[in-house]
Every structure is written in C-alpha cells, then in structure tokens.
Structure 1
Amino acid sequence: MTDAADSPSAAELIVRDILRGLYQQRYVAGQRLAEPDLIARYGVSRSTVREAIKRLAAQGVVEIRRHQGARILNVTAAEARNILLIAEMIVGLAARQSAHEIDKGDNRKLLQEALDAMATASASSEKFDVVLARNRFHRTLARIAGSPVLENTLANLHVHLVRNKLVMTPEQRLASYQSIAEAIFAGDAETAETRARSHVRVMIDLLDQDG
C-alpha cells in the first residue's frame, strides 16, 4: 500500500465512490459494508476504511451496529419526501440570498462558473456528472449568500439527494438552473426563490405521484 492511498483524502474518495455507487445502484439500501471487502476494493488500510465508514455514518448514510458492522440505511418514501421538502426551502433561501449579494466581490463570476459546469455536465454521457454539478451549483448559491450554515446544510442534504434519480432531462435541468441564475443575476430575490423552489418541487410532485 502506498502513502497516497492512506492519505487523509483517501477516506473522502471512498465516501464519494459509495455515494456515486448509491446513485448507480452498485451499492443498495441494506447492503453490508464489510471492512475486508472495502480494503480489497479500494486498496487502502483498515484505518482509512473505518474513517470512511465513520464519515458515512455521521452523514446518515450508514448505520454501525455492534458485532454487525456497517450497513447502508434505507430511506423510506416519507423520509425522502421530508428531505426534499427541506431542500425546497433551503435551496429557495440560498437563491434569494444570492440575489441580494450577487454584486459583491467575484459572486457573478462564481455563479457563471457554476452554471458553465452544469452546461458541461449536461452534455456528458455520465449522468452522475450532473449530480456533482447540481451540488456545486447549490454550494455556490450558499457561498454567494455568505452563509456557512446554508452551505453546510446543503452539503448534508446532497448526501441524501444522491439517492433520488434525476427526473428531468439534462436539457430541462440546465434550462431550469439557467432560469434561476437569470433571476439571481438580475438581483430579483423573489423570482430567484420562486424558481429555485419550483425546481425542487418537480421531484416532490413526482415522488407523490409514485406514492
């Protein structure tokens, strides 16, 4: 094993791959995360795997039971809906606050870069790239708003939102984010919040239909 494999960032790489695997269904709810299997798969030390599992547990992705190890938690339809309801409010608030702060510092540049990243991801054949670009867009809104609390809250929500399949086409999603950004660039806080909340509401409505 190399020092690079056991570096502090190795645990985060495992976390990211497991989250990606949840979206791609390489990992599923109820699946046991056996330490020997993860050590072999990622080529890291036991301590690195344990750190990754601890991070996933702290984020509410896995549960650790004594003598049973770690398992990926199941998210019920009701819990998924609650997560999306929280996301609707938080993303809407981030968009509103961003509109108020858009002309400060490099905020316009940051938002344009996040929007460009979404455009690039939308053209990619890898759907998970869109998930990552979505997360970046949301984090950028919180950063522009100047709120570490919003940024941390969105980061925690992203962990759970990864379980929700993308319900818009890449073109629809990009158009939706462009619409949100347009309102933010114009400094229109009310419209920015309305459009951001409507964007999340699409997923809530689909979940209600499936239920």
Structure 2
Amino acid sequence: MFANDQTEPLIRPALAVELVDRIRALIMEGELRPGDKVPEKALTVRFGVSRTPVREALKVLASEGYVRLIPNRGAVVAEVTLAEIEEVFPVIAALEGAAGELAARHATDKEIAAIRRLNDKMHAAFESGDRPAYFDLNQEIHSAILAAARNPTLRQQHQMVAHRVRRARYQANLTPERWTEAVLEHDSIVEALEARSAERLGRLMKTHLEHKLNALRRAITADETFSGGNCRS
C-alpha cells in the first residue's frame, strides 16, 4: 500500500497523539491522497499498534477535516474543496493581518529575535528542499507572531478556522517560483516586524495569505495535482 514499507513502531504513553500526527503527515505529504480509503490494517503494521488506537486517531482526524468516516466503509481521505478554501482563507488573512499590526506594537525584542532565528532555519529547509521541516517552521513563525500580538481572542478565533485549511497551506505553492516567492515574503514580514512597522507588517501578512489563496485557486482550476507530490508551502 505504501511506497515506504519500513515499519515505524510508536512508543507509549504518547501513542495516541503521535499516531494522529503520523497519519496526518501521510495525508499532508500526499502518501494518502484525497479519495483514498485509509488502510487500517497497513497502518497497524507500519506503526506496530492494534486497530483500536488507529480508529481513535481517525476519529480525531475526522474532527479536524482530514478524513470522512463512512458507515460500513471506514475512513476516506477528505477532498480539499475550492469552496472551503475560498470561505476560510480570507478570514485567516484578516486575522493574521490584524495579528501582524498588534505584534509590531507588542512583541518583545526577545520574541522578535526568536522569530528571526526561525526564519533563518526555514531558509535552510528551503535550500535543502525539506518540505515537512519548512512547513513546520513556517507555521511556527505564524504562531509566534500571533502569540506576540497579545490578543487571546484573536488567537482563539484563528485556531478555530486555521485547522480547516492546514493541508491547503502545506500545498499552497505548487511551483518552485511560488515557493521562492513565499520565502521572500517571509523575509519581508520579519523585516517589518524588526522595524516595528505595524501597518506594513499587517499588510504583508494579509497579502501573503492572499497569494496562497490565488496559487491554490489557479491550481484547482487547472486541475493540477493537489495532494502532495511536489507541492510546497
């Protein structure tokens, strides 16, 4: 079933959380593609667990929108639809734009320095073509800016919607040109934060998300691959 037949046994007590993370990664990286039936038996072998924790993990992933649970069939990897992306991305863009403005005003020097270090690490992941590491660092930067905004309500609202398009954000840059553009956008974001330019940072954060939406819109309209492969965020 899997291109990689290597077993990856999981260790308790973090079994449940790690199993969710591992299966989610299979979906985000395209090893399990939209419309695929999730192979419970193959997952039990790969991760060295019984079917019960696998099924519990799939319930969590269903609540996050990664899979659909179908009676008498099991779990199927959910499609990422243009309608959902069009609905959610403008909301996230508005929230992250507001977070950027607030972070420029409220972030400590220590927080700004930490975000700069994350951006440097993200550059290294980009240069090496390490897509999972790049995405994780990318998300850490966005999360750090949200935290630096010092607005719990804004952060809570962001968390409520962001998980719905997390896979789309992972796959937003479907060409090397767009990936390079995204890295340069992050450089500008960090520079605006260091300059504490609130209006500029807010605008850059919002535009960054708008560019992701435009890339996804073009890809889906053109029926390009949207489930992994060479997709980068």
Q: TM-score range by the shorter chain?
A: 0.7 to 0.9
The 5-angstrom pairing of residues 1-211 of structure 1 reads 5-103=10-108, 106-146=110-150, 147=152, 148-149=155-156, 152-153=159-160, 156-157=163-164, 159-162=166-169, 164-167=171-174, 168-210=177-219, 211=221
* 84-93 or 157-166, which deviates more: 157-166
Aligned length: 207
CA contact under 8 A between 1:138 and 1:154: conserved in structure 2? no
Gaps of 5+ in 2: 1-8, 222-233
Question: CA separation of 1:164/1:85 partners in 2, compared to 1, >3 Å: closer, same or farther?
Answer: farther
**Structure 1 portions without partners, runs of 5+:** none
Provide the rounded CA distance (Å) in 2 between the counterparts of 1:170 and 1:73: 25
**Identity score, percent:** 22
1:176 Cα deviation after fit: 0.9
In 1, the alpha carbon distance for the partners of 2:183 and 2:148 equals 20
* Contact 2:67–2:77, Cα closer than 8 Å, also in 1: yes
Partner deviation per Cα, 1:9-36 (whole Å, 9 max, x = no partner): 3333333333333343211112122322
C-alpha distance 99-158 of structure 1, shift in aligned 2 (>3 A): farther
Letter in 2 for 1:114: L
Cα RMSD (Å) of the superposition?
2.5
Q: Do 1:23 and 1:128's aligned partners in 2 also have CA atoms closer than 8 Å?
A: no
User: What is the Cα deviation at residue 6 of structure 1?
Assistant: 4.8
The one-letter amino acid of 1:77's match is L
TM-score (norm 2): 0.76
The residue identity in structure 1 corresponding to 2:194 is F
